[in-house]
Structure 1
């Protein structure tokens, strides 16, 4: 059944309470590869509760799962096959440092629905606030393959120019064979990342890593490499998911430093540096 665009755009915002603890933060950090070497003081900021700093990308799983992809499919007017759903991009604006533990209200609404011809693009915005005020705002860009073609607005298509010159820093980050199995325990149980049969039906040779895991690994690399490990300096972080990552591969992360901004490009070193993340920007203090 095709998308009912009018019903999707008229959908009411949905709110609910979310909560998280230090254990959730620790599990998330391990899921994006923190803790290597295990006794490194820089890594202990992510893995030891007595000195814990929260990487802002934890916001994408706070409360037990991604606020965009799965919940977006339950929006009135959408009936989509999970095997044909792709997370196309993610942005995050941090209003205050994410606390180690908390309870907050998450309010999600449809911020856009665009007709890309062979797919529909749903933009789901989630605002999270606690008793002290706004915490973060996240936008998930969700592609529904085969659901376009109803004659709707194609949406914005402009993309930033690629960074110029040689990167200021380049780091390689290995992805463990069991990385997706560990990361999914933070809430995204989509079988695409664990079940070979499901991955094959979706057109992949084997399960792929969560895009949001790559998103977190990349932000950690930027924070550790260019921001002195200070997670509270991150103001916003946006990316476009340009390609897949298979567990066991190595990410090559290139960084270009600007005034209050880091531009980033991520590729899969094992596959002739196939693009993984593009149009990636970290704004910081």
Structure 2
């Protein structure tokens, strides 16, 4: 088996509050949009390799309940808070409203959810992460969007599985034993295990549970797991584990013996250092100026990726690329150069972002083979900045 780990970097200027996201302007006006965004990911992939990897609301607003989107892809995914947007007094008030009861939280049973997708969703996702963008008949990637025997025979990129967990853990709703201010929430990490190649169409039954809870003093770290079963056969297809940082929700245990609970194997992810020598392989892939507009059709309609005004208020010169889209580009590079085009070699993925990408920028993925692993990092060529790295 070979391991691949990536890190990227991203700081995003938003405040999350329940099912709404708020951006505060200099005059105290608050813009509200219903969306959530990815803040950070670190990605690790295990593969089987060949021998040779707007609505305005006053700042003293009263929040009203609003309908919850029914589509899994339009529900909560992840978010980030820029420290300049929350005053010390406001953050202290948010922290005071946060409470965690481990016993209640760990015993909570999330309702079973359903996620349905078709070949069209699979093909649209592949195009959204750059498949066949520079060669419409690419021998390694045409299989993700076309098959001579019909669309139902197309293959599915492994990172498509990241979409399945959207909305499965409704952190925007009341959960027994967990009270926190959503404006202080950060989605820190997502781990995926694939137990077989994904079918081109399926209806999945998602079973979610809390598998980790840690008291970090000023913050609580919540780990939730979503196991995805084929509705017809009952077969377990994949698993997503989401790590969420809840600022202000820590301190619920004795400081001399902070609470820490995990219910999963401790050795699934190992630490990685980027080698200093020249990479074994480098893959260069330019994203399209319209990349985010295409990727958003897979279900993430966050205006940060499409609305120039919203992006500027958030602190960016223009809309940025979805973090999970960048992850998709990186995994495609590894499949092409290390797995020789065989995506079924990818067995698990762990993702964390560290830096944003602008649509139209060029991604360079550097790869090193080290024993049974492939170590790599992805950089934005135009800015010479690492956006993903790991092994």
Same fold (TM over 0.5): yes
- In structure 2, distance between residues paired with 1:31 and 1:200: 23
Shift of 1:11: 3.5
Q: Could you tell me which of 119, 126, 151 is aligned with 2:226?
A: 126
> Relative to total residues, which structure has the larger helix share, 1 or 2?
1
Q: Could you tell me which of 153, 156, 160 is aligned with 2:271?
A: 160
Aligned match of 2:146: 48
More moved, 98-107 vs 243-252: 243-252
Q: Is the 8 A contact 1:66 1:188 kept in 2?
A: no
- In structure 2, distance between residues paired with 1:198 and 1:170: 35
Shift of 1:40: 2.1
When the two structures are superposed, what TM-score results if normalisation uses the length of structure 1?
A: 0.82
Aligned match of 1:3: 98
Q: Residues 48-67 of structure 1 correspond to what in structure 2 (within 5 A)?
A: 48-49=146-147, 50=150, 52-62=154-164, 66=166
- In structure 1, distance between residues paired with 2:284 and 2:369: 17
Q: Which segments of 5 or more consecutive residues in structure 2 lack a partner in the other structure? A: 1-93, 263-268
Q: Could you tell me which of 206, 211, 229 is aligned with 2:341?
A: 229
Shift of 1:151: 5.5
Q: Residues 83-102 of structure 1 correspond to what in structure 2 (within 5 A)?
A: 85-102=185-202
Aligned match of 1:109: 209
Closer/same/farther in 2, CA of residues 262 and 159 from structure 1, 3 Å limit:
closer
Closer/same/farther in 2, CA of residues 125 and 30 from structure 1, 3 Å limit:
same
- In structure 2, distance between residues paired with 1:117 and 1:276: 29
Shift of 1:272: 2.4
Q: Which segments of 5 or more consecutive residues in structure 1 lack a partner in the other structure? A: none
Higher relative contact order (CA 8 A, sep 6+): 2
When the two chains are superposed, the root-mean-square deviation of aligned CA atoms in Å is 2.9
Q: Is the 8 A contact 2:100 2:249 kept in 1?
A: no
- In structure 2, distance between residues paired with 1:112 and 1:202: 31
When the two structures are superposed, what TM-score results if normalisation uses the length of structure 2?
A: 0.62
Report SS of the residue matched to 1:25: helix
Q: Which has the larger radius of gyration?
A: 2
Closer/same/farther in 2, CA of residues 272 and 94 from structure 1, 3 Å limit:
same
Closer/same/farther in 2, CA of residues 66 and 166 from structure 1, 3 Å limit:
farther
Q: Residues 1-80 of structure 1 correspond to what in structure 2 (within 5 A)?
A: 1=94, 2-6=97-101, 8-36=105-133, 37-49=135-147, 50=150, 52-62=154-164, 66=166, 71-74=170-173, 76=175, 77-80=179-182
Shift of 1:109: 2.3
Paired residues, what number?
A: 272
